Amino acid sequence: MSQLVISRRLRAIDLAKCKAEGRKIIALTAYHAHTAGILDAHCDFILVGDSLGMVMHGMETTLPVTLEMMIVQAQAVMRGTTRALVVVDMPFGSYEASREQAFMNAARVLKETGAGAIKMEGGARFADTVAFLVERGVPVMGHIGLTPQSVNTMGGFRVQGRGEEGERRLMEDARAINDAGAFAIVLEGIVEPVARAIATNAAITTPTIGIGASVECDGQILVLEDMLGLSDRAPKFVKRFGSLRDQIEEAVRGYAEEVRSGRFPADEHTY
């Protein structure tokens, strides 16, 4: 006789409950089992972001990141967590060609990782793809504003929403992704008045997640390494809640000095 397995993990639908109850949604990125395990008790969702290309591999942009890279790191994050919803970025080139390409790759991500949702960059022009995936059982998180995969066409990592045309376009993007059935929308690098207008618009019923956007968003997300002070440089919107780079450097310096002097390993570290 088969048994019903009930997962204790949060699901995409739980973010809507947070919004309905007025509770802020907490999110961070993670790429490893050990860091994901630390975040698990504190975050509603953990994003396995394609930012791993820049954070882990020293790439200049996210564009070289492959689907295989995303799957491997998502598997690690899933092994380190039991509670938080895990969302996986769809990397550049894995969903743009067609709705069918997007579904096949998104299905592969969910099957091979066990994650609960995927995230796609892009606004109104991808609304049809979002709807296609949602209709087929793939929970989709949208992402508008500063979309790093479009860095070459945007002319760099530029703040979005300046001017009437910029505001109009972003509002159209948010409405289109909302109406297509996305369970949440990341608003990145958007000037505060426009981000606030989107987040508080009655027609935008899906939760909004800010990163360099308004405090009015239903939740916030940051790259873990940025907020811990591990990155050399961080965007203006990042508050450093830690200074681990300095602590790690101090620890490594102490280790090197003790090895050189012969103080390590001592008797208590020797079999």
- How many C-beta atoms surround the C-beta of residue 252 within 10 A? 10
Whole-number Å distance between alpha carbons of 133 and 103? 6
What DSSP line would sit under 14-77, residue for residue? HHHHHHHHTPPEEEEE--SHHHHHHHTTT-SEEEE-TTHHHHTT--SSSTT--HHHHHHHHHHH
Active-site pick, 60, 121, 167, 188 = 188
Encode 158-182: b = buried (16+ Cβ within 10 Å), e = exposed. Answer: ebbbeeeebbebbbebbbbbbbbbb
Domain 12-240 sits in CATH at 3.20.20.60
Instruction: Report the predicted TM-score, pTM, of the whole model to 2 decimal places.
Output: 0.95
pLDDT one-digit tens code per residue, 41-70: 999 999 999 999 999 999 999 999 999 999
| pLDDT level of residue 118 (50, 70, 90 thresholds) | very high
pLDDT one-digit tens code per residue, 137-193: 999 999 999 999 988 887 777 899 899 999 999 999 999 999 999 999 999 999 999
Q: Are 88 and 51 in contact (CB under 8 A)?
A: no
135: annotated active-site residue? no
